[in-house]
Amino acid sequence: MKNTILCLSLLYFSILYPQKSLEARFLEKTNFDGEYFMGVDQYDSFYFIDDETLYKKNANRIQSYSNLQLGAIDQVQLFNALKIVVLHKQQNSVVLLDNRLAELIEINFNIMSPSQLVQHVALGSDTTFWIFNALTLQLELFDYETKSIKLSTLPLGEEVLAIESDYNNVYALTPSYFFQFNYTGSMVQKIKLDSFERFRVLNDILIVQKKDELFYKYNTGDEFKILEIPKNLIKQFFVMNQTLYIYDGEFLHHYQLIKD
């Protein structure tokens, strides 16, 4: 009798609160010549790095950015196409670019006080961007006009693999956890994750990579599900405008993401 009641209860809740799913529907496969695929902006311009130069390519032209003094480009954040954030780790510097890839501002953190060792960067709101300071293991909101830290999160306890942001939140992936903090630096969620390498946030969906597989989870659920896509090498992946892009080192695979 108890088992019957339990089964009926599970059936009731599964009908009332069905598990949402996500489908990746194949659109096309295109040739891609860049060394590193960095992503796509809101206006369907593609970004890639080749020979320490960042390129922006659309239907009309190709634009480029490089800085011989700062050297290699380690990270590019494309959340806002009018304020593209570029990190040069070796020189501990961050450069902000406009939509023509012209330099708006350059911040050298070697001369900042207190000391900061920037390992990851993501755009904030107004005149700020988020940095992960490897000296304190904290996410810090840096104001590039006043050259000051506006706030810091609690220490994350270990290195960070990647960070992303939107106007209201900053997200960080470590070898052990996924963190979400709001614009005041308060923790919103902390999820136990092991052996994941990269992530993207699509509105209410978290997509994470483990080797050559992608998994997803809705904010309202606790379970990660595998995203069903053909088996391919995943060198980089990116999500923009409900489209998933996967670069396998030779081709760029386009998928439309469809919520159930």
Percentage of residues in the chain having pLDDT higher than 70: 93
> pLDDT class for 6, splitting at 50, 70, 90?
very low
Of 90, 158, 97, 160, give the one whose Cα is nearest residue 131. 160
What is the mean pLDDT of the segment spanning 1-25? Answer: 57
* Contact of 150 with 142, CB cutoff 8 Å: yes
Of 56, 85, 90, give the one whose Cα is nearest residue 70. 90
Half-sphere exposure of 197 (CA within 13 A, CB side): 10
The reported pTM is 0.89
Structure tokens at 7: 């089964």
Query: What span, in angstroms and rounded, lies between the C-alpha atoms of 152 and 103?
Result: 27
Structure tokens at 83: 């304020």
> What is the predicted pLDDT for the residue at 162?
97
Q: Is the pLDDT of residue 113 over 50?
A: yes
> What is the predicted pLDDT for the residue at 19?
61
E strand map for 124-248: 128-133, 138-143, 148-152, 162-165, 169-173, 177-182, 187-192, 198-202, 205-210, 213-218, 225-226, 236-240, 243-247
Q: Which helix (H) or strand (E) holds 55?
A: strand 53-57
> What's the one-letter identity of residue 167?
Y
Convert the pLDDT of each residue in 33-70 to its tens digit: 889 999 999 999 999 999 999 999 998 899 999 999 99
What is the mean pLDDT of the segment spanning 207-211? Answer: 96
Convert the pLDDT of each residue in 80-112 to its tens digit: 999 999 999 999 999 999 999 999 999 999 999
